[in-house]
Amino acid sequence: MKKINLQISLWFIAISCVLIVSCSKEDEPQLILSPESEMLFTNGIIFPAEGGEQSMSFTIMNQTWWHSWITPTNKWCTVEYKYNFEQSNEVTAYIHVAENAEHNERNAQFVIKVGDTQKELNIKQKSVDFIQLPEKRYEIRHVSTTFQIEVLSNCNYAIEIDPEGQSWIYNKEGNLQYQPGKQIITFISSENEKTSPRECKITFKGESNSEQIEIYQAAKPALTLSENGTKARIDIQEPGKLPEILSTTDLTKIKDLTLIGYINGTDFVIMEKMTNLIHLDLSHANIRSGGDSYQRINNDMDYFTKDNEITDYLFFNWEKLEHILLPEQAKSIGECAFNHCKNLKNINIPNRVKTIGAYAFTGCIALEDIHLPETLTKIEDSTFGLCKNLSIITIPQNVTYIGRWAFGNCSRLQNVIIKGKITPIITPTSFVEETGASIEDISPLRFVLYIPKGCKEDYQNNSIWMAHAIAIFEE
């Protein structure tokens, strides 16, 4: 009898456990994903760099409380919800991803937790394609040359050499398709046997962007003289070689000189000794650091050239020079660079030039007109002082300040053209003329002022500008 009772007891216990387990499973909180959403949670979501939106739907069973979040917390990935109020256990989640302007991919997770159940959705956003080159221009010698270009990218890209360069430059590897990462690409150029330089462009082309680099190959070294020996064209492959190319006779005969290639302080020393030099074309020359000191001031201060700069005192007191074309790559003009070039009539200032030093053109009494680059923001003290033949000056739109005596004693100045809408600040001595022996004996220069439309009132309310203006015209 006891054995039967024990069996019955065990039977009831087993039945009770089954019922308990069965009830607990039915009542257990559940997260049910739609088939499409289940695939998203399995595979993750990849967003393009421009961002976008993805949605998913899921059902919460047997649980009124649930929790979801984005990790790590950020501003570029957010989530919004839409509830089905007819079946309140159904939810649609909208994941929003902002544009990625960075060069790196970014990742996040969308997490849903219901009871003891947790699901993670991996979110990845691609970066903006970029191709980075250390330089935008490479200069190589006229001889056959092997050179390397370092490329950093996060995308696939191809290399294209423009038609002008395909006859003399090629990619050593011969592989025109490259993978993301850092690459060192080797190119080979053939010898330039012509007496003129040549250029081409190499394009590194990705799916959505591209970068270009200019390749400049110097001309074959040569000295070309006119029949009477007064005009010369010289291609220099190595700075400092001008003394080896020109004879003593050349130094006295040449009036018109064109230099192509590379020059430094040693070459400027020789040019200054060309006693009859009137016209100088350096537009295709490249100034390099080094060589001899081209100028010594007060017997204790030596000056040397710097890469792509018209340095302090570089053309100081070159009295014969009338016309000059500066190197296209020049980025600055130093103090007193053309000081007392009394016969200088014309000069080009390349658009790369950002600064012009004080006294740069002081005493250039023959200078009639000069074009200032748009990159200029300030005209320093006495920059054009004593330019007595200067009749017109155009002030670029980015110039906000004109220093003391900047145009002092420019007695023939008749027209001043202002391009910027912001009235440049000037001092009481920016535009003046000395009328006596004493510095106190000065009077304002008078000229016609041309200004942008809508700015007339600003000038009329400026007593310093009005002291100079004969008339004001809006253009």
Of the candidates 331, 419, 315, which has an alpha carbon nearest to the alpha carbon of residue 367? 315
pLDDT digits (tens, 9 = 90+) for 256-297: 999 998 999 999 999 999 999 999 999 999 999 999 999 988
pLDDT digits (tens, 9 = 90+) for 99-133: 998 878 899 999 999 988 899 999 999 888 889 99
The secondary structure of residue 80, as a DSSP letter, is E
* Domain match, 438 and 349 both: yes
In a domain, 279, yes or no: yes
Collect contacts of 166-170 with beta carbons under 8 A, ≥24 apart. Answer: 166/200, 168/192, 168/198, 168/200, 168/217, 169/200, 169/202, 169/215
Q: Model confidence at 226, in pLDDT bands (50, 70, 90)?
A: confident
Confidence (pLDDT) at 439 = 65
Q: How far is CA 14 from the centre of its chain?
A: 81
In a domain, 243, yes or no: yes
Domain of residue 428, CATH code: 3.80.10.10
Q: What is the rounded distance in angstroms from the CA atom of residue 424 to the CA atom of residue 459? A: 10
In a domain, 283, yes or no: yes
The answer to whether residues 269 and 294 touch, using CB atoms and an 8 Å cutoff, is yes
* Domain match, 417 and 349 both: yes
The secondary structure of residue 244, as a DSSP letter, is H
In a domain, 11, yes or no: no
Q: What is the rounded distance in angstroms from the CA atom of residue 384 to the CA atom of residue 410? A: 8
Q: Provide the strand spans (E) within 162-230.
A: 169-171, 177-178, 181-189, 198-206, 210-217, 222-225
The answer to whether residues 115 and 63 touch, using CB atoms and an 8 Å cutoff, is yes
Confidence (pLDDT) at 296 = 87
Confidence (pLDDT) at 437 = 62
Confidence (pLDDT) at 224 = 82
Of the candidates 269, 268, 271, 270, which has an alpha carbon nearest to the alpha carbon of residue 279? 271
Confidence (pLDDT) at 2 = 40
Confidence (pLDDT) at 365 = 97
Domain count for the chain:
4
Q: What is the rounded distance in angstroms from the CA atom of residue 40 to the CA atom of residue 38? A: 5
Q: Which domain holds residue 301?
A: 221-306
Mean pLDDT, the chain, integer: 89
Confidence (pLDDT) at 87 = 63
Measured CA distances, 401 to 45, 330, 421, 434 (Å): 55, 23, 13, 22
Last residue within a domain, chosen from 110, 125, 140: 125
In a domain, 21, yes or no: no
The answer to whether residues 425 and 431 touch, using CB atoms and an 8 Å cutoff, is no
Contacts (Cβ under 8 Å, ≥6 apart) of 88: none
Q: Strand 447-451 to strand 469-474: parallel, antiparallel, or no bridges (unpaired)?
A: parallel
* Domain match, 359 and 371 both: yes
* Domain match, 109 and 156 both: no
The pLDDT of residue 368 is above 80: yes
Tokens, residue 263: 């020059």
Q: What is the rounded distance in angstroms from the CA atom of residue 178 to the CA atom of residue 207? A: 12
Q: Model confidence at 13, in pLDDT bands (50, 70, 90)?
A: very low
* Domain match, 175 and 281 both: no
* Domain match, 90 and 120 both: yes
Measured CA distances, 172 to 163, 184, 192 (Å): 17, 11, 18
Domain of residue 115, CATH code: 2.60.40.10
Is residue 234 within a helix (H) or strand (E), and if so which, with residue range? Answer: strand 231-236
* Domain match, 421 and 341 both: yes
The pLDDT of residue 60 is above 50: yes
Last residue within a domain, chosen from 106, 125, 144: 125
How many other CB atoms are there within 10 angstroms of residue 426's CB atom? 21
Which burial class, exposed, middle or buried, applies to 18 when counting CB atoms under 10 A from its CB (0-12, 13-18, 19+)?
A: exposed
* Domain match, 398 and 286 both: no
The pLDDT of residue 64 is above 90: no
* Domain match, 336 and 416 both: yes
pLDDT digits (tens, 9 = 90+) for 416-472: 999 999 999 999 999 999 876 666 788 999 999 999 999 999 999 999 999 999 999
* Domain match, 376 and 471 both: yes
Last residue within a domain, chosen from 85, 106, 125: 125
pLDDT more than 90, % of the chain: 66
Phi-psi region of 240 (alpha: psi -120 to 50; beta: other; left: phi over 0): left
Contacts (Cβ under 8 Å, ≥6 apart) of 53: 94, 95, 96, 97
In a domain, 277, yes or no: yes
In a domain, 46, yes or no: yes
Confidence (pLDDT) at 101 = 84
Which burial class, exposed, middle or buried, applies to 322 when counting CB atoms under 10 A from its CB (0-12, 13-18, 19+)?
A: middle
Q: What is the rounded distance in angstroms from the CA atom of residue 154 to the CA atom of residue 132? A: 9
How many other CB atoms are there within 10 angstroms of residue 450's CB atom? 18
Q: What is the rounded distance in angstroms from the CA atom of residue 28 to the CA atom of residue 153? A: 51
The answer to whether residues 426 and 448 touch, using CB atoms and an 8 Å cutoff, is no
* Domain match, 180 and 120 both: no
pLDDT digits (tens, 9 = 90+) for 290-339: 999 999 887 779 999 999 999 999 999 999 999 999 999 999 999 999 99
In a domain, 25, yes or no: no
The pLDDT of residue 358 is above 90: yes
The pLDDT of residue 12 is above 50: no
* Domain match, 137 and 120 both: no
